[in-house]
C-alpha cells in the first residue's frame, strides 16, 4: 500500500500563506483521486480540495479563490497552496487518495477504501 506523508504545516497569522506537501511512497499516477481534507476539533473531517486522475479539480466552498491544489507526477507529491489564511482554516490537514470506486470521495469524507496520511497541523491566529 502506498504511504502518504504530509508536511508543511505550522502556525501563521491571519492573511498569511502556507504550502502543504503530501509525499507518496509510490506512484501517484495510479490514484483515481487525490485530495486534501481537514478536521478541526469537534468537527467532522471536511473536503478541502481534490484532483482527479485526468486533472479535474474541485474545491470546498470555503476555500475557493484562496487555496490551490496541484501535483507533481514525477516527484509523486501532492501540494496545497493556501493563501489569505483565516482562523477558521485552523485544523489538522490530511492527504488522501483512492484507486477509484470510493463512494462520495469528495467532498466526503470517504469512509472506506482510502489511503490517509497522518496529518499536519495548521494553526492560524487572528
Among the listed ranges 51-60, 70-79, 84-93, 103-112, which one has the minimum average pLDDT value? 103-112
Among the listed ranges 2-11, 33-42, 104-113, which one has the minimum average pLDDT value? 104-113
48 CB-near residues (< 8 Å, 6+ apart): 35, 36, 37, 38, 59, 60, 63, 67, 69, 80, 93
What average pLDDT does the chain have? 96
Give the other-Cβ count within 10 Å of 106's Cβ.
23
Give the per-residue pLDDT at 29: 94
Closest alpha carbon to 100 in 26, 31, 34: 31
User: Could you tell me which residue, 99 or 79, shows the higher pLDDT?
Assistant: 79
Amino acid at each position: 500500500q502506498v504511504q502518504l506523508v504530509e508536511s508543511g504545516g505550522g502556525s501563521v497569522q491571519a492573511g498569511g500563506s502556507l504550502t502543504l506537501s503530501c509525499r507518496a511512497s509510490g506512484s501517484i499516477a495510479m490514484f483515481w483521486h487525490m485530495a486534501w481534507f481537514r478536521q478541526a476539533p469537534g468537527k467532522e473531517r471536511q473536503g478541502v480540495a481534490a484532483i482527479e486522475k485526468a486533472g479535474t479539480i474541485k474545491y470546498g466552498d470555503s476555500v475557493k479563490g484562496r487555496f490551490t491544489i496541484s501535483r507533481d507526477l514525477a516527484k509523486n507529491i501532492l501540494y496545497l497552496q493556501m493563501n489569505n489564511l483565516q482562523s477558521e482554516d485552523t485544523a489538522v490537514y490530511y492527504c488522501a487518495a483512492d484507486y477509484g470506486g470510493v463512494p462520495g470521495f469528495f467532498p466526503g469524507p470517504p469512509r472506506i477504501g482510502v489511503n490517509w496520511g497522518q496529518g499536519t497541523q495548521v494553526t492560524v491566529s487572528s
